[in-house]
Amino acid sequence: MPPSDPAETPVPHLDEPCWERLGRLPVVPDDEPLVPMSLAPEPVRVFPAYARLGIPGAVPECFVRESVHRRLLSVARGLPPGLGLVVLDGWRPWRVQQYLFDTLFEVMRARHPTCDEETLLACTREFVAMPSRDPLAPSPHLTGGAVDVTLCDADGLMLDMGSQFDEASAASHSDHLERLDAPDARQRRARGYRRVLYHAMRGAGFSNLPSEWWHYDFGNQLWAHYGGHPQAHYGPAQLDTIEERWKRQLGDG
């Protein structure tokens, strides 16, 4: 393979974010709308993972900001032949964020009964951001700028990326497979897929959360942090409702 082949270019190591410092990055809100990814043409596929799992409050669609939608299309169209992009989650209601955080926290507490509250919170935040509707420090998925993605083959079957989506283990760290001394054939193959996904997403302007190979950001505070941008563009977002539309149409909104 040529040196420029993304499957041969390692995923770099990045430090975990300091969430307190992250929340101090300014947010200059953009009114860009949320749009459904299900309207995107192939090779994008949409599989709203949390709705399929029956998580309370999850919506059966993957909504993202308009710029995120266009960038994901660009990523999908630029993938090597035979590969497609699967969108697993985008905008996430606050209720779902709270459910995920509380559920993982309780699992962590059951597994590590001697750990104090601060340690358990840190372990939980490694994989699920603290639920927040604060316009100055919203949860990444609440902004519509965070998206969870993976790769699939030409038949739409999701590829083995070395860990499951939302697996709360070190194997989910983006560079985990880069740090193995003697990866086996399966791990080498998964490492190549992670590299392809990482470099395709980075090339479209996204940043990656180091603890999750599937999580990418554009326009929010995580993106500003890892991209060295002075400010974020996306604050908390809400889906448009028929009630809000009627209010606007009647001049009450």
90: tokens are 């985008």
* Neighbouring residues of 95: CB distance < 8 A, sequence distance ≥ 6: 56, 57
Residue 69 labelled as part of a binding site: no
Cα–Cα distance for residue pair 143/146, rounded to 1 Å: 7
Cα–Cα distance for residue pair 74/200, rounded to 1 Å: 9
Q: Which long-range contacts (CB under 8 A, 24 or more apart) does 122-127 make?
A: 125/19, 126/16, 126/168, 126/211, 127/166, 127/168, 127/172, 127/211, 127/212
Residue 215 labelled as part of a binding site: yes
Residue 148 labelled as part of a binding site: yes
Q: Are 72 and 33 in contact (CB under 8 A)?
A: no
Cα–Cα distance for residue pair 24/27, rounded to 1 Å: 9
Catalytic residue among 16, 118, 167, 212: 212
Q: Is 61 a catalytic residue?
A: no
Cα–Cα distance for residue pair 29/17, rounded to 1 Å: 22
Residue in the block written with tokens 């990523």: 75
Give the DSSP H or E segment for 22. Answer: helix 19-22
Rounded (to 5) percent helix, strand, coil in the chain: 40, 10, 50
Residue in the block written with tokens 């603890």: 211
DSSP per-residue letters across 179-231:
G-SS--HHHHHHHHHHHHHHHHHHHTT-EE-TT-TTEEESSSHHHHHHHT-SS
Binding-site residues sit at 141, 148, 215
Binding-site residues for Zn(2+) sit at 141, 148, 215
Catalytic residues: 212
